[in-house]
Amino acid sequence: MTNITVKKDWKKELWAYLLLIGGSILFAVGDVMFVNPYLMAPGGTYGISNVLNTVWPWKISLYAICMDVPLLIIGTWILGPKFGFKTILSTALIFAATYVLETLWGYNPVIFDGKIVDAPIEGISMVQIPHDGGWFVPDYFLNTVVAGLIYGVAIGMIFRSGATSGGSDIISMILHKYTKISLGTLVMIVDGIITLSTLVAFGDIRLPIYSIIIIFIEGKVIDLVVEGMKSYKTMFIVTDELETVRDYILNDLKRGGTLLVGTGLYQGNERKMIYVTLDRADMVKLKSNLHRIDPAAFVNIMDSSEILGTGFKALPKE
């Protein structure tokens, strides 16, 4: 039994490191090939580095590592050893992959409308490629969508591996410790300031807007990668046909649930309520049959982002 457990843990750990390596490389691809050529900065130390790279030409990776290393040290000093080996490895891998890509590929865009030319074409909005001296006709929207998807998959893979993004998130965590403002709010504030730096640096209102769209798409994709495509619904059902509904859940849907006892506010009578969590398909079946079993039933349906326990995803080990 012990050998089987060790073997499973070994495979799981190997998969985690493969996710970490793949996510780190993919992040570098998104930044160098899609974000930087369009002069965008969707948060993080690499967002700041993209702006600095264009204003004062130096490699993105070098700017980023000069910020990431001190942030990791300061974060460990103030917050304690929250940043494990995988986070440090991810920081190093993203730096290495970004350095290689910008050295071999340069800062040329993958998505653009037209050829790269030596000079801007009169009457057409164009973007100059940093350092390379060329100009191209941008396709902002398509590039933004693709960049958001790449960033989301990349960071989602890093999160799935057990690492954290580090970087500017450490600033948010430090501010959270002393201000008690929610971490989510602080992350939005820090990333928002970084995206606005593109407006200050380049004077184009489109750049922070598209950067924010990247952050939005990225967040949705991260949720899909980390949580998966499975969608769960939690239902609270108050019905006079309690036994019939209970039998349908247990025998037809093959699911369990919990019976809660409460008191109605209006008449003060004791009421029983079924609490059950189902996937989307079973929720639709139950809702349809509730109309047949008890048209007067009261039902509250809520989205459940993650369900842990018997019948669903196993509780994580420490």
Distance CA 305, CA 231 (A): 7
Q: What pLDDT shows up at residue 313? A: 63
Structure tokens at 259: 């019976």
Q: What pLDDT shows up at residue 46? A: 93
Distance CA 267, CA 270 (A): 9
Distance CA 294, CA 276 (A): 17
When pLDDT is averaged across residues 160-175 and rounded to a whole number, the result is 77
Residue 262 pairs with which residues in a beta bridge? 271
Residue 303 pairs with which residues in a beta bridge? 233
Of 128 and 153, the structure prediction assigns the larger pLDDT to: 153
pLDDT tens per residue, range 214-253: 988 988 888 788 766 666 888 899 888 889 999 988 888 8
When pLDDT is averaged across residues 171-192 and rounded to a whole number, the result is 76
Q: Is the pLDDT at 1 greater than 50, yes or no?
A: no
Q: Is the pLDDT at 65 greater than 90, yes or no?
A: yes
Distance CA 93, CA 138 (A): 29
Residue 279 pairs with which residues in a beta bridge? 232
CA 305: distance to chain centroid?
13
Average pLDDT score over the chain: 84
pLDDT tens per residue, range 6-56: 555 778 888 889 999 999 999 999 999 999 999 999 988 999 999 999 889
Of 148 and 8, the structure prediction assigns the larger pLDDT to: 148
Q: Is the pLDDT at 176 greater than 70, yes or no?
A: yes
Q: Which has the minimum average pLDDT: 26-30, 152-156, 221-225, 303-307?
A: 303-307
pLDDT tens per residue, range 109-132: 999 887 888 888 887 888 888 777
Domains of the chain: 2-227 (no CATH), 232-304 (3.30.70.120)
pLDDT tens per residue, range 261-296: 887 777 777 888 899 988 877 888 888 888 888 888
When pLDDT is averaged across residues 146-172 and rounded to a whole number, the result is 84
Of 164 and 160, the structure prediction assigns the larger pLDDT to: 160
Q: What pLDDT shows up at residue 311? A: 60
Q: What pLDDT shows up at residue 2? A: 52
Please give, one letter per residue, the 3-state secondary structure of the chain. CHHHHHHHHHHHHHHHHHHHHHHHHHHHHHHHHHHHHHCCCCCHHHHHHHHHHHHCCCCHHHHHHHHHHHHHHHHHHHHCCCCCHHHHHHHHHHHHHHHHHHHHCCCCCCCCCCCCECCCCCCCCCEECCCCCCEECCCHHHHHHHHHHHHHHHHHHHHHCCCCCCCHHHHHHHHHHHHCCCHHHHHHHHHHHHHHHHHHHHCCCHHHHHHHHHHHHHHHHHHHHHHCCCCEEEEEEECCCHHHHHHHHHHHCCCCCEEEEEECCCCCCEEEEEEEEEEHHHHHHHHHHHHHHCCCCEEEEEEECCCECCCCECCCCC
pLDDT tens per residue, range 69-94: 998 888 888 877 766 788 889 899 99
Length of the chain counted residue by residue? 318
Q: Is the pLDDT at 105 greater than 60, yes or no?
A: yes
Q: What pLDDT shows up at residue 41? A: 92
Q: What pLDDT shows up at residue 304? A: 74
Cα angle 58, 47, 155 (rounded to 5 degrees) comes to 120
Residue 272 pairs with which residues in a beta bridge? 261
Tell me what percent of the residues of the chain surpass a pLDDT of 70: 89
Q: What pLDDT shows up at residue 288? A: 82
Of 102 and 174, the structure prediction assigns the larger pLDDT to: 102
Long-range contacts of 207-210 (CB under 8 A, 24+ apart): 207/38, 207/39, 207/40, 207/41, 208/41, 210/38, 210/40, 210/140, 210/141, 210/144
Structure tokens at 175: 């501010």
